[in-house]
Chain A
Amino acid sequence: NAGVTQTPKFQVLKTGQSMTLQCAQDMNHNSMYWYRQDPGMGLRLIYYSASEGTTDKGEVPNGYNVSRLNKREFSLRLESAAPSQTSVYFCASEYLLGTAQEAFFGQGTRLTVV
């Protein structure tokens, strides 16, 4: 099983450039998330999607947009990259059944904005 697949794994952007981070899951989960992880800050939620067709802002949504293309795919777009967006980005999908709850993470995208 592939689980959660993120592309690309590494990216260097110049300030002002745009790009889309791709995420796909093959576990038929309804909920998907985008986080960023920075030293000393921990994981912070950017956007999440509780189900296909819905998206909601997390803690740090400014400068980002998302698309829940279908149940499998949840993309994150940086319209005009800034050095402050240099980070490691993780996509996750979530299993929910009754009270059981478990998130599965991708391998991450390491983004540097120069």
Chain B
Amino acid sequence: EDQVTQSPEALRLQEGESSSLNCSYTVSGLRGLFWYRQDPGKGPEFLFTLYSAGEEKEKERLKATLTKKESFLHITAPKPEDSATYLCAVQGAGNNRKLIWGLGTSLAVNP
């Protein structure tokens, strides 16, 4: 069964304190792994898509990496505005275009 597990559930950082969020997945034939950011009371906002092991993508203070079993979202020198819930989702080869979503990591960055 396709599955996505995110850890930790919650993370509190001081401004400037770098860290990583984890997304472990099992899927039959990965077509894509997606990272989204969700602010309270809003819909998810797209960050990255990764397609194959070894791929990396960056956007401002965020960098996403992918292996055959997991993805990391590295946050370098975070700012309070990076506080949000970060969601990971995968799309398997046999799922048409359906995404399997993780429960997210709630990140709080203190000034």
Interface size of B in residues (CB-CB distance below 8 Å): 21
Asked if A74 is an interface residue, CB under 8 A from chain B, the answer is no
Q: Is B43 in contact with A92, judged by CB distance below 8 angstroms?
A: yes
Once A42-B103, A107-B42, A107-B43 are accepted as A-B contacts, the answer to whether A94 and B49 lie under 8 Å apart by CB is no
Q: Determine the main DSSP class of A at the interface with B.
A: strand
- A89-110: CB near B (< 8 Å → 1, else 0) gives 0101010000111111111100
Q: Is A105 in contact with B32, judged by CB distance below 8 angstroms?
A: no
- Roughly how many angstroms separate A105 CA and B34 CA in the complex, as a whole number? 14
Q: Is A105 in contact with B49, judged by CB distance below 8 angstroms?
A: no
Instruction: Mark B residues whose CB is within 8 Å of A.
Output: 32, 34, 41-46, 49, 51, 87, 89, 91, 96-99, 101-104
- Quote the shortest CB–CB distance from B26 to chain A (angstroms): 15
Give every chain A residue within 8 A of B45 (Cβ-Cβ): 105
Q: Is B46 in contact with A103, judged by CB distance below 8 angstroms?
A: yes
